[in-house]
A and B are shown apart, each in its own frame.
Chain A
Amino acid sequence: MADPETLATGADGRPAPLPAPPRRRLGRRQRQRLWRLAGYLVFTLVLLSVVAAADWDRLADSFLRLDIAGEMFPGAITVALRNTIVYTLLAFAFGLVLGLVLALMRLSSVGPYRWFATGYIELFRGLPALLVLFMVGYGVPLAFPDREIPGGVYGAVTVGLGATAAAYMAETIRAGIQAVPRGQLEAARTLGMSHARAMVSIVLPQAFRIVIPPLTNEIILLTKDTSLAYVLGVTATTIELTKFAGDALNTRVNPTPLVVAGLLYLAITLPLSQLVRWLERRAAKER
């Protein structure tokens, strides 16, 4: 803090029309400015000390070895990134369809549908995605030895991650449906549409418009969750980014592959979050 003596001017010494509040040596704005300055100072000091403490040559040697990074290509993109995207899209599609069905069940006038949907959502929102993946990958095959989820690892990831995503998306979609004014459904019914037709033609299109931003967020979360696929024992062709980078880390005993994988994840998620922001701005304008 600066010395208060040197700053205590301005507010001092003016005639006070009311019984004076506890006298302050600094004006409100001056104090605010002082605190902000102190904050910047601390922030800069912390930053500088971290930068100074780091051994930059060692760091570059560990994390930024271009030769090791180069070896990862083209596999990092043609196999690992591709599989990450495929897992994400499959799980999202599965979750979206299941989530929509659950949302409609949750809003149904039929009690048992509502109870089932509520139970499912509470269950899968409460379980870690990793546990669900283990269940799908190892529990289900043990329980049904003569059946298997089609698509191998692809199928297992789709179901495992999609089942969890569906629980979240169901709640999002339900909120979207409920945000469509009741008059929309009434107007559609008045025109002779059945309940199902009114839902499909009138309510759901408007509901989805409302929930596009949160659903895009869900894709971002799913993109990162695909890193859990390794527990299913992925092979050279089904490997995704995190496992790919982990393998390279083990063989070269150097963390550069982690940086490469991180950048590739960001290459997916940063444009997506930009998209979310744009969609939210557009939605705000339409309202």
Chain B
Amino acid sequence: MSAIEIRDLRKAFGTLEVLRGIDLSVETGEVVCVIGPSGSGKSTLLRCVNLLEEPSGGSVHVDGVEVTDPDCDIDAVRRRIGMVFQQFNLFGHLRVRENLTIAQRRVLRRSRAEAERIAAENLHRVGLAEKADAYPAQLSGGQQQRVAIARALAMDPRLMLFDEPTSALDPELVGEVLAVMRSLAAEGMTMLVVTHEMSFAREVASRVVFMDDGTVVESGPPEEVFGSPREARTREFLHRVLEPTRVSEAEIGVHTPFPSRRS
């Protein structure tokens, strides 16, 4: 049984079709990285897995439970799916420790002592044990994102969703978040990651999925997708992302030097 099984997933916002029939499965223990240009539907795909977006068609199964079934207890399914957002979304009115314990206590009904023990373990896991008493606003972006990861882990999720976890970070803070994700992957966590970090995808992913215009264009092991992409669209995207300084004027439709302003 796959951790995530997505069949013919469709999502439209009004007349705008964002997902046009996605088929994708993630096996337990796999790390799947979804790459692609902005607006290609990557984040929407991720948000359909835990029903933050209501799919317009198709089905999504998580651990054998169909989340797209209207009778599905979505709160129960979400408990097993950790999610990390681009904007961290830490609870600003709560200390770091309380950020990690509130759902454990209110949702999982753990005792205060147990919740705090698990919170401490997970803060230690992301290297922020000493920040338990801080408020989110007192932390750097990288630290906030690591706390967000720890908050998700404290619920003992069966799989983790990452929605561009490093896109809102200053460049020098990206590494610490990727390091935490890498160690998580090494521990065998099932992960579905939407990312622009190609080196992370190449190094950590068991499979890379390239999306464009609401469809999966190509998917396979990272060495194949990055090393010898089959599709022209994949090749163009990777060329632009991996070698931004080599993008020629001809490619983007600039045929002459800019006309001079003199008249």
* Interface, chain A (partner B; CB < 8 A): 181, 183-184, 186-194, 197, 201-202, 205-206, 209, 286
Contacts A190-B81, A209-B93 aside, 8 further interface pairs with beta carbons under 8 A come to A183-B85, A184-B91, A187-B91, A188-B103, A191-B152, A192-B79, A193-B75, A201-B102
Cα A186 to Cα B89 with chains together (Å): 8
Q: Decide: A191 near B155, CB < 8 A? Known: A186-B85, A201-B102.
A: yes
- The one of B75, B81, B91 in contact with A194, judged by C-beta atoms closer than 8 angstroms, is B75
CB pair A181 B89 closer than 8 Å: yes
Asked whether A192 lies within 8 Å of B93 as measured between CB atoms, the reply is no
Question: A38 to chain B: closest CB distance in Å?
Answer: 49
Kindly count the residue-residue contacts between A and B in the assembled complex, taking CB atoms under 8 Å apart.
61
Q: Is B78 an interface residue (CB 8 A)?
A: yes
A181 to B88, CA, bound (A): 12
Which of B87, B90, B103, B137 counts the most A-chain CB atoms under 10 A from its CB? B103
Interface residues on B, range: 20 to 34
B93 near A190: Cβ-Cβ < 8 Å: no
Q: Is the CB of A191 within 8 A of B92?
A: no
Contacts of B82 in A (CB 8 A): 190
Judging by beta carbons under 8 Å apart, are A197 and B107 in contact? Answer: yes
Q: For A202, what are the chain B residues with a Cβ–Cβ distance below 8 Å?
A: 91, 102
Q: Of A186, A188, A206, which one neighbours B92 at CB under 8 angstroms?
A: A206
| Residues of A with C-beta under 8 A to B83 | 187, 190
Q: Contact partner of A184 among B89, B103, B151, CB < 8 A?
A: B89
Q: Does the CB pair B52–A191 fall under 8 Å? A: no
Interface pair B93/A191, CB less than 8 Å apart = no
Is B78 in contact with A191, judged by CB distance below 8 angstroms? yes
A to B CB contacts below 8 Å, 24 in the list:
A183-B87, A184-B91, A184-B92, A187-B83, A187-B85, A187-B89, A187-B90, A187-B91, A188-B103, A190-B50, A190-B78, A190-B81, A190-B82, A190-B152, A191-B103, A191-B151, A191-B152, A191-B155, A192-B76, A192-B108, A193-B75, A193-B107, A202-B102, A206-B92
Asked if B262 is at the interface (CB within 8 A of a chain A CB), the reply is no
| B261 within 8 Å of A (CB atoms) | no
A189 in contact with B106 (CB, 8 Å)? no
Closest to B83 in A: A190
A186–B148 Cα distance when bound, in Å, is: 13
**A193 with B89: CB separation less than 8 A:** no
Contact yes or no, A192 B155, CB < 8 A:
yes
Q: Are A205 and B89 in contact (CB under 8 A)?
A: no
Complex Cα distance A186/B151, Å? 14
CA–CA, A191 to B101, complex, Å? 11
Which 9 A-B residue pairings sit nearest by Cβ, starting from the closest? Answer: A192-B79, A191-B103, A187-B89, A183-B89, A190-B83, A192-B107, A192-B78, A205-B93, A206-B93
